[in-house]
Structure 1
Amino acid sequence: MEPRHGIMKAFPKVKRARVLQGKDAPPVKKKPEEHDVKGNCFKGVTVYILPAGIGNARCQIFERQIEQNGGQTERALSPGVTHVVVDDSMDSDRAMRLLKVDCMPSGVQLVKCIWLSSCITQKQLLDVDSYSLLLPKRQSETKNENIEEELPDVQPTATAIVEPTSDHSKQEETLDIAVLDTQEEVRGEEDGVSQSDLEALITGQTPQEETPGPSLEPATDSAAQSVVPGKWVCAQSSQSKSNNFNKDITDKLEVLAKAYTHQGDKWRALSYSKAVNALKSYHKPITSYQEACQIQGIGKRMADKIDEIMESGHLRKLDHLGDAVPVLELFTNIWGAGTKTAQLWYQLGFRTLEDIRTKAHLSTTQKIGLKHYDDFLDRMPREEAAAIEKVVKDAVHAVDPGLLSMACGSYRRGKATCGDVDVLITHPDGKSHKGVFSRLLQSLRDSGFLTDDLVSHEDNGEQKKYMGVCRLPDHRHRRLDIIVVPYNEFACAIMYFTGSAHFNRSMRAMAKTKRMSLSEHSLNKDVVRQGSLKVFGGTPFTTKTEKDVFSILGIPYREPHERDW
């Protein structure tokens, strides 16, 4: 019952409605998304709508509207698709995982659902730039060498903010910043970067590519074995960079890498990170420009900057970091806020955390991230991470003593401090892990150990993932991820969640050169690709341990502490 003028009427008088029929009957009002609009605004467009987050019923409505307006639809990412539409809250990394591709095929746009809604509302095919989740296609390295590098003092562009014409669009596109840049973006997975570009960030070595063209034939065994490890990151120990002979240079380049990252310029950030890793791995101090040019992973323009630091002890570019950079860094440190959200907040005039707290429209996860801002930034000692793992392990064994659990991430790599704790759970019988997820989480909530849920349940195939916040007595709030996986995926999942991110990219890229595919689920053989589109996912190898993965790829096994790239 509705309150009227502040007074609740228990039994208001109700006038009996007169049944109207025929021409007297009022028109049935359809929901905006159900208008049977006919036109040709989608002519020449073929759309695949990823149902995750959108829902099957809404997908069907959209598909009908696309077809009624001259377009075509597909039920999978197949050749001929021009646009892939995903839920507004999804980021490109998760979309790639759900689509099971390393990168989007050439010419295919990955766009938010609001693009489709806006096209239908405005009855025209809108430009995708403001709705796209992908970076512009990478220019060749030679061409990039000739482009005048922009200083990272450029303010976030106002063009990212669209002025929609309808109220519906306005509600979803302007101040509703609840659209979540998921933390996976913050943790460093570059959008739109092909695996072949990410094989060896320390060397810049170009990987051996598969034969170009539309061939759909899987590689032969001899072709798969022809790729040599060379100086791939995954084939080397990260201990090689334990003695950094060029720290004065790498410290300054890392500042610029971070600045570009916070501004969303991932290509330049990647270029600087690549150079930093190359310098950290170099066996002696660099003494000349010519020597810098000879190091794989360092181009001429980067060598110019290195030479400037060697000559003057300083890099002038650091003097021109704009006011936006520290503010963007402040904002992206909020869990759940990525670079796009941070830039939008900056454009709206926000400059402090208090501005965000009092003026921004925050999602539930961003509110939690803001509440625990200082705690999340404070790295915990290993001892605290071990104590968190023990609490989870005890709860796991209380549910079923036969379950296995293991802390991964930086803790398993032997780091002295950890940003969060990732715990993997499985059962050797391959089936008893099912049904554990909800019982375990409820137990940890009942004990007061879990204080906040960030992502309470994310399905990834047969894997289930929880992302939340925990707290030991008299300690800070800490980030905790719990992942339940089937036993046949345990080895690949351990490798994936152990990291580091650079090491994982190198492993996946090497697998690709061998016509294989590596993910947190499995290492597959006989993968068939058409360009960058995976048309057949291949057949999983049996990988009982991480060593099996290394052995199949033909590279020496690396202990977790050797993967800290």
Structure 2
Amino acid sequence: MSSAHWMASSPPQDTVQETAPGNMPKSSLRLSSLPPIFISESHFKDINELHRLEDDVVETGGLLSYNLHEAKIVLTRVLSKKRITMDLRSKDCYTEEVLVVKDISVADTGTDPAAGHKAKRGKLSGEYEDGKKETEESILHEVSTDSENEDEHKPKNRSTKRKRVASSVEQDPNKAYFSNPYIKVLKWEWFTDSQKQDRVLPIEPYLLYQGQIIDKPEDPKTPGKGSSFTARTKTPQSILERARADAENDTSSPVQQRSNRKLGQIGGGRVSAPFQTTPHSKRAALLHQTTSEHDLGQSSDLPEMPPWVQNDVKYACQRSTPADPPNAAFIAQLDKIKLARLLTGDEIGVRAYSTSIAALAAYPHKLSTGREILLLPGCDAKIANLYVEFANYGKIQEAEDAENNEELKVQKLFYNIWGVGATTARDFYKEKGWRDLDDVVEYGWQTLTRVQQIGVKYYDEFLLPIPRSEVEDIAATIHKHAVKLRDAGIQSLVVGGYRRGKEHCGDVDIILSHPEESKTLNIITDIVASLEQESWITHTLLISTKTSDRGQQTLALNSSSTHGHGFDSLDKALVVWQNPHYIPSTSNPSDSKTKNTNPHRRVDIIISPWKTVGCAVMGWSGGTTFQRDLRRYVRQTYDYKFDSSGVRDRKTGDVVDVDGEAGTMEQAERNVFGALGLEFREPWERCTG
């Protein structure tokens, strides 16, 4: 067999036997009968801690919601009522406090005190143990004509049901609270304490605030239609708009000073309103599907659900996700919304949309109705409504608004700079007042990191797609230099988007390893030096030898990575690549100073010791949601920590051998799938986005 494995080879016919997951002790707490739960991110310093809490709620059967207008329970770390109401308002949820803490009248009388609030009930109110069925009916406005269902709603039966509820209220103190439509804000310890005791604890000791959702109050400072101020310039309505207006009149502001120097190129133009990612817009939240199923070319009967839907498999690493799903057009609209959430700092929204998009991408049938979406793990009423809108209009208004918003256009421009994340892009726009790359160069060049400076310098070139043939040429050159430095035992594999089958890639990710552990120790510095000597590398932005520094051992349990893919856990080099061989200009071919016209490319060279190379390949080959769910799956199933440098037991801190014996990097990856109890998925089945 050739030692060069820089392209994904066909997998062997024999497969590794799956091992059953270990019987890890799990809490018997069940929250499936409770209303939808919203977790406020306020005062969570570590976003991973918030994500773990969300995972735990889902594990107990809780109905996790990302919409405060659907949720009836809010878990928070905020303790004061004033801060709680501010936190709710910041999420476009306006409330007024309800002094009645609980409603015993449901059990004692024949009237329903919440009847007057039915119009304000959340879409998921009602019998929460039948949550998806209730949601489906409320979202799609499908009224059953079944006579048995009609009989169930006769007055005499309702009276009988109230008697049964009265009995359950006496047994369950929480029933009295959940019988009303009000939103309850609880200390987050209510959930963790319930976990410890394996039962749903009474919420009263943890109740911080109970409120009724109301319409957004009008600004009392806004002049009315009959006001004498109507002839004057309209006063900005939002706080952000008023702040902008104040800033325009404040010449002491650094942003305004820079705008004056630019002669109004930034400050003088009309500023668009900030993009809002609120659950309520001018378009109705619930849409009738007016386009007939016949017009859509779909059958009115739902297709047979794939096994992962029937079994409610929620982790993307447990199902096949192809690169070209049948609902790609709808997913593309959701991707626009997800990007807007990312740029506006809504991490919870990004995670929710990522989960939904991954489920939709794995669904093998062309969607025909919102009812299908409600059956998919990770998809809720919000996504079903968006699909109905997409089916009726061919687009989603929120996605269109996001794409056309001038503020987000500028932030996206900055976000595409190599080395600039969403937070930095937002800071460039809001704090520094920059509006284009010229502003970045003129007013902030010295404040940029070296990576960001290179990202600005080669901005247009880095956005050029890299064809597969060029990726293969780059990989072959790196492999050749590695073999020259060590021996023919070096193996290499291109991972990332290339291995998932993309025709064009944004960058090149290549992993190198050697069956002899000593051969990979500190090899990264030698490879970079060799490539620089032959002018393949024009800029070396980072060389990390952290794996070699710790003796090529798996990352310690108390260490964490902040860049994904185990960024700090493997030896690697981030470099700018340019093919030094080019055709000189025809105008003066003898001029030695003729500029190299080959585009600059971003290349990541990763080194893995052989004993954990399967984890490295697996950790760098899947889509973002696949990788996130893989770590969640390993944690929830085995209480292990998965990293590109290996696996550790969270209880003992010991390294867990999941790679086994393997002659190739691909076989080592297969071994990891089997050891973790997962069915092997080809790289092109991990396209979760």
- TM-score using structure 1 length: 0.58
Name the counterpart of 1:219. none
1:399 corresponds to 2:516:
no
Q: 1:133 to 1:359 in 2, by over 3 A?
A: farther
Name the counterpart of 2:389. 308
Deviation at 1:142, TM superposition (A): 4.2
Deviation at 1:558, TM superposition (A): 1.7
Deviation at 1:154, TM superposition (A): 11
Deviation at 1:268, TM superposition (A): 1.3
SS at match of 1:314: coil
Correspondence 1:115-514 to 2 at 5 A = 142-147=64-69, 230=313, 232-239=315-322, 242-244=324-326, 246-321=327-402, 322-347=405-430, 348-360=432-444, 361-401=447-487, 402-457=489-544, 459-460=546-547, 461=550, 462=552, 463-472=570-579, 473-474=581-582, 475-512=598-635, 513-514=637-638
Deviation at 1:231, TM superposition (A): 5.4
**Matched-pair contact (CA < 8 Å) for 2:658–2:672:** no
Q: 1:308 to 1:465 in 2, by over 3 A?
A: same
**Matched-pair contact (CA < 8 Å) for 1:250–1:280:** yes
Q: Distance in 1 between matches of 2:353 and 2:333?
A: 10
**Matched-pair contact (CA < 8 Å) for 2:619–2:643:** yes
Deviation at 1:411, TM superposition (A): 1.8
**Matched-pair contact (CA < 8 Å) for 2:525–2:543:** no
Deviation at 1:561, TM superposition (A): 2.2
Name the counterpart of 1:14. none
Residue identity in the other structure for 1:339: A
Q: 1:154 to 1:345 in 2, by over 3 A?
A: farther
Deviation at 1:438, TM superposition (A): 1.7
Q: 1:518 to 1:310 in 2, by over 3 A?
A: same
SS at match of 2:639: coil
Query: Structure 1 stretches of 5 or more lacking a match?
Result: 1-105, 111-131, 160-169, 171-201, 207-227, 529-535
Deviation at 1:406, TM superposition (A): 2.2
Q: 1:158 to 1:498 in 2, by over 3 A?
A: farther
Residue identity in the other structure for 2:324: S
**Matched-pair contact (CA < 8 Å) for 2:482–2:490:** yes
**Matched-pair contact (CA < 8 Å) for 1:454–1:468:** yes
**Matched-pair contact (CA < 8 Å) for 2:611–2:659:** yes
Residues 122-150 of structure 1: CA deviation (Å, up to 9, x unaligned): xxxxxxxxxx9998997776453334976
**Matched-pair contact (CA < 8 Å) for 2:356–2:379:** yes
**Matched-pair contact (CA < 8 Å) for 1:145–1:299:** no
Choose 259-268 or 310-319, whichever is displaced more: 310-319
Deviation at 1:470, TM superposition (A): 0.7
**Matched-pair contact (CA < 8 Å) for 1:414–1:561:** yes
Q: Distance in 1 between matches of 2:538 and 2:530?
A: 12
SS at match of 2:620: helix
Q: Distance in 2 between matches of 1:499 and 1:254?
A: 18
2:671 to 532, 542, 548: 548
SS at match of 1:438: helix
Q: Distance in 1 between matches of 2:494 and 2:314?
A: 29
Q: Distance in 1 between matches of 2:376 and 2:631?
A: 24
Deviation at 1:329, TM superposition (A): 0.6
Q: Distance in 1 between matches of 2:572 and 2:241?
A: 33
Residue identity in the other structure for 1:355: D
Deviation at 1:109, TM superposition (A): 4.0
**Matched-pair contact (CA < 8 Å) for 1:229–1:235:** no
Q: Distance in 2 between matches of 1:138 and 1:296?
A: 18
Q: Percent identity?
A: 27
SS at match of 2:546: strand
Deviation at 1:158, TM superposition (A): 9.2
Deviation at 1:466, TM superposition (A): 0.9
Q: 1:468 to 1:229 in 2, by over 3 A?
A: farther
SS at match of 1:498: coil
Name the counterpart of 1:519. 643
Residue identity in the other structure for 2:634: A
Residues 253-285 of structure 1: CA deviation (Å, up to 9, x unaligned): 221111112222222122223223333333333
**Matched-pair contact (CA < 8 Å) for 1:156–1:343:** no
- TM-score using structure 2 length: 0.48
Residue identity in the other structure for 2:474: I
What is the aligned residue count?
366
**Matched-pair contact (CA < 8 Å) for 1:263–1:328:** no
Q: Distance in 2 between matches of 1:154 and 1:253?
A: 28
Residue identity in the other structure for 1:357: V
1:537 corresponds to 2:649:
no
Residues 46-100 of structure 1: CA deviation (Å, up to 9, x unaligned): xxxxxxxxxxxxxxxxxxxxxxxxxxxxxxxxxxxxxxxxxxxxxxxxxxxxxxx
Larger radius of gyration: 2
Q: 1:514 to 1:135 in 2, by over 3 A?
A: closer
Q: Distance in 2 between matches of 1:499 and 1:389?
A: 19
Q: Distance in 1 between matches of 2:496 and 2:44?
A: 33
Deviation at 1:501, TM superposition (A): 2.2
Residues 282-320 of structure 1: CA deviation (Å, up to 9, x unaligned): 333333333432332221122222222222333232454
